[in-house]
Structure 1
Amino acid sequence: MAEDADPGFAPLTARAVLLGERIDTAGLERRDVLSTTPLAFKVGGAGGLAIVFRYGVVVLIGLDTLAEDEVIRGVGPRVIDPFALHEEEAVQLAPLDGRDERAELDGTVHIADLSLERLLCVADALAKSAALAHDERQVAEVLDRIEPWARTLAERGRQPASRRTTLQMLGEGLLVQHRVAGRVAVSEKPDLLWDRPDLERLYARLEDEYELHERAEILDRKLNLIGQTARLITDLMDTERALRLEVIIVALIAFEILFSLGQLAWRIAH
């Protein structure tokens, strides 16, 4: 997969698999490493490639099912907080057909050749799309739990969630926000574009095809909604707690007054 790779290559599949929150790449260095950021190395003897991203995604290019499973098993012990459900994104890489490099609606990406830089460019967009799909599903689950709370508040005028449940919901939203803005860094372009500005057009078209920026912005708005809702819930809980405390204080004062009046009446009577 050198820079002067034959442009007339046979179509092959690139698959991104989200394995967990993070992957510790410190122990995955190999002799045949092709890139360190992200970590990329050859697999098999037919030009297969595995690319490991620290935010939990492995991209497998040109591998059959058995080779993919072998790579995933090898990376498995390095996965931190593995997910039970693996999010996947796949595309078909095909040579140019007389037009520019582009991504088709049917999931085919036409590229000039199989150079490492181009494959890393495709892998970066594919990995971010898989990570966003997981975050979108996680945020949707949080919003599904918010909906009945909002309905109960509108119909009965009270909140049904406990403080612990509210804090858990807020924590899940913060984790997704940290993942999108921090580890995955969807808005940031891959470092290789600094050395290969000629690949910016290809990456821009991949960004548009997977709607990376738009999906990240929608996630950010949903996360803001989750944060506002969680703050509203905690404010209502604090208000109810303060009201109960005031009622208890008033009751204690009234009891003390009645007790004092009772003692005074007893003294007067005797």
Structure 2
Amino acid sequence: MVGTAIQPPSQTTTRTRLTARALLVGERIDTLGLERSDVINAVPLAFRASDGYVVLFRYGAVVLIGLSPIEEDETLRGLGPRIISPAKRPENETATIEIVPDQDDQIDPGGTIKVKDLAPARLVVIADALAKNVVLAHQEREVSRVFDIVEPLAAKLAAGGRTPTDRSNMLKVIGQSLLVRQRLTGRVEVEEKPDVLWDRWDLERLHARLADEYELKERAAALARKIEVVGETARALTDLIDASRSLRLEIAIVALIVVEVVFTLYEFLKQLK
């Protein structure tokens, strides 16, 4: 089964609290041919790095668990050639993982993720939620930027009845909204469960708790609604621009016809004289 663990990592005994950092580093990460002897999971690709772990998602997210800042920088530099369309400023979200062997998996009110251990399957479930969280944060920011473009145009239309004149800008807005939707549904699949749960049904509760903690489904649904509003608004403004251009063209054609008629009459009257 895709995503099953290849070999378990050794259990952490000296560190009970780990920092997990999720970053959206680019459009995609090319993991093909990335062969390592310390791989602990195939899809998503997870491997040990120093005293911590690295989990790579092909849609451009990286989750670093238990690494120092220097180790994180070294890992990201090593991944540089495999990052397609690198982000200028990678989106960054952090969380704390606490290993508590004698307790059930849970998330405390402060947001700390408490788990029995960091076995590969459990590690992947946590990383999946963190990666989706950082992608949603990035897309929410992108949709807000698109709203900042559309809102003034709609406000100007409502206040003075003036239609925007830049049709190409409206088409860019429509394209951006479609791109956000495609990334969320086609690549990230925010509402889908990680493949590892097919083999580890006992981690369903942990996955559900993480999804609730980061409000993954609710935020994805809210984004979908916002994208729909942006798309409809942009299309409506584009239609108004097209209608306004058509009206101006018709007026110009009528004016040319009138000029031609007047000129013809003038020539006719001139000949009569």
Give the TM-score category using the shorter length: over 0.9
Please, which runs of 5 or more residues in structure 2 have no aligned partner?
1-6
CA shift in 2, pair 1:246/1:161, >3 Å: closer
Alignment of 1:56-71 (within 5 A): 56-71=60-75
Counterpart among 12, 34, 39 of residue 33 in structure 1: 39
Larger displacement relative to structure 2 (100-109 or 74-83): 100-109
Residue 26 of structure 2 is aligned to residue 20 of structure 1: yes
Structure 2: distance between partners of 1:87 and 1:107: 19
Counterpart among 217, 220, 227 of residue 221 in structure 2: 217
RMSD (Å), alpha carbons: 1.8
2:118 aligns to what SS in structure 1? Answer: coil
Q: Percent identity?
A: 50
Residue 131 of structure 2 is aligned to residue 131 of structure 1: no
1:184 alignment counterpart: 188
Deviation for aligned residue 1:11:
1.5
Structure 1: distance between partners of 2:142 and 2:237: 20
2:96 aligns to what SS in structure 1? Answer: strand
CA shift in 2, pair 1:241/1:137, >3 Å: same
2:85 alignment counterpart: 81
1:202 alignment counterpart: 206
1:187 aligns to what SS in structure 2? Answer: coil
Please, which runs of 5 or more residues in structure 1 have no aligned partner?
none
Preserved contact between residue 24 and residue 80 of structure 1 (Cα < 8 Å): yes
Structure 2: distance between partners of 1:249 and 1:12: 72
1:250 alignment counterpart: 254
Q: Could you state the TM-score of these two structures normalised by the residue count of structure 2?
A: 0.93
2:219 aligns to what SS in structure 1? Answer: helix
Structure 1: distance between partners of 2:97 and 2:165: 49
Deviation for aligned residue 1:117:
0.6
1:199 aligns to what SS in structure 2? Answer: helix
Deviation for aligned residue 1:148:
1.1
Q: Could you state the TM-score of these two structures normalised by the residue count of structure 1?
A: 0.94
Which residue type is aligned with residue 85 of structure 2? Answer: D
CA shift in 2, pair 1:156/1:209, >3 Å: same
Structure 1: distance between partners of 2:189 and 2:8: 28
Structure 1: distance between partners of 2:108 and 2:61: 23
CA shift in 2, pair 1:9/1:117, >3 Å: farther
Larger displacement relative to structure 2 (14-23 or 24-33): 24-33
